[in-house]
């Protein structure tokens, strides 16, 4: 596969091209839904416990499972980007997140919702770091600061509107819509990535996954996040 490399003079320049503005906007949109979903669910714990006739401790795993899946997916993002390409990994993350959102909205019990939220978390955990890596590769050090200010907007904005939006959706539609609302974001992001994004660095079949490090890292991260969520 040929690398889609930006010209050296473009990477070293401090001029932000229209292509880079497009890329930063697409990556911001791609990360918005996964960050929104971290808080939009908080107001639904009580209603979900009633709907599924389950205790709060069980339903709380809908939140905890999502956070643990994100934590587990993030360390994989660097290897996946190098092995399969940033563009392909972004598309994969959006497809997985879309699938997890659709299945979560169709869940018929607390255990199935927890499982589907884990799937959703895997996609969400890959979306943000891979998108930032792709933007860093395309922008270069001189332009990265300005463009990252756009990408970080969802990180500031999404958690603020999540609980309020979740309450509106539950009151006026259904708890299922706190998951279905992600679908348009994912579809638009996938379409834009396919149409306008290229790999700056070519994928490499020689990229190796540090299995030993991964096996040692993931349980520790998962236990840390679980402990903090319980505290």
Return the pLDDT at 229: 63
Q: How far is CA 103 from each of CA 15, 99, 140, rounded to the nearest angstrom?
A: 43, 6, 38
Q: Residue 68 pLDDT > 50, yes or no?
A: yes
Q: Which CATH code, of 1.10.3720.10, 2.60.120.260, 1.20.1250.20, 3.40.640.10, is assigned to 16-230?
A: 1.20.1250.20
Q: What is the pLDDT of residue 8?
A: 37
In the chain, domain spans: 16-230
CA distances from 143 to 10, 13, 72, 104 (A): 10, 8, 30, 38
pLDDT at site 223: 72
Q: What is the DSSP string of 30-52?
A: HHHHHHHHHHHTGGGHHHHHHHT
Q: How far apart are CA 201 and CA 34, in angstroms?
A: 25
Q: Check residue 106 and report its DSSP letter.
A: T
**Tokens standing for residue 215:** 């096996």
pLDDT band at 33 (very low <50, low <70, confident <90, very high): confident
Handedness of CA 190, 194, 196, 200 (dihedral sign): positive
């Amino acid at each position: 596969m040929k690398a889609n490399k930006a010209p050296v003079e473009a990477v070293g320049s401090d001029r932000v091209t229209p292509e880079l503005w497009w890329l930063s906007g697409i990556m911001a949109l791609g990360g918005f839904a996964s960050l929104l979903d971290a808080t939009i669910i908080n107001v639904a714990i009580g209603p979900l416990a009633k709907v599924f006739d389950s205790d709060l401790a069980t339903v709380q795993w809908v939140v905890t499972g999502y956070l643990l899946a994100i934590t587990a997916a993030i360390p994989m993002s660097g290897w996946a980007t190098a092995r399969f390409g940033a563009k392909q990994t972004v598309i994969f993350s959006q497809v997985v997140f879309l699938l997890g959102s659709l299945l979560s909205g169709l869940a018929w019990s607390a255990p199935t919702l927890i499982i589907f939220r884990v799937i959703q978390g895997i996609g969400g955990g890959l979306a943000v770091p891979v998108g930032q890596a792709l933007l860093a590769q395309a922008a270069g050090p001189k332009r990265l600061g300005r463009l990252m200010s756009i990408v970080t907007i969802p990180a500031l904005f999404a958690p603020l509107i999540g609980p309020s939006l979740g309450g509106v959706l539950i009151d006026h539609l259904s708890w299922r819509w706190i998951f279905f609302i992600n679908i348009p974001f994912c579809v638009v992001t996938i379409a834009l990535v396919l149409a306008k994004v290229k790999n700056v660095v070519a994928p490499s079949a020689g990229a190796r996954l540090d299995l030993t490090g991964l096996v040692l890292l993931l349980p520790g991260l998962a236990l840390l996040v679980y402990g903090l969520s319980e505290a």
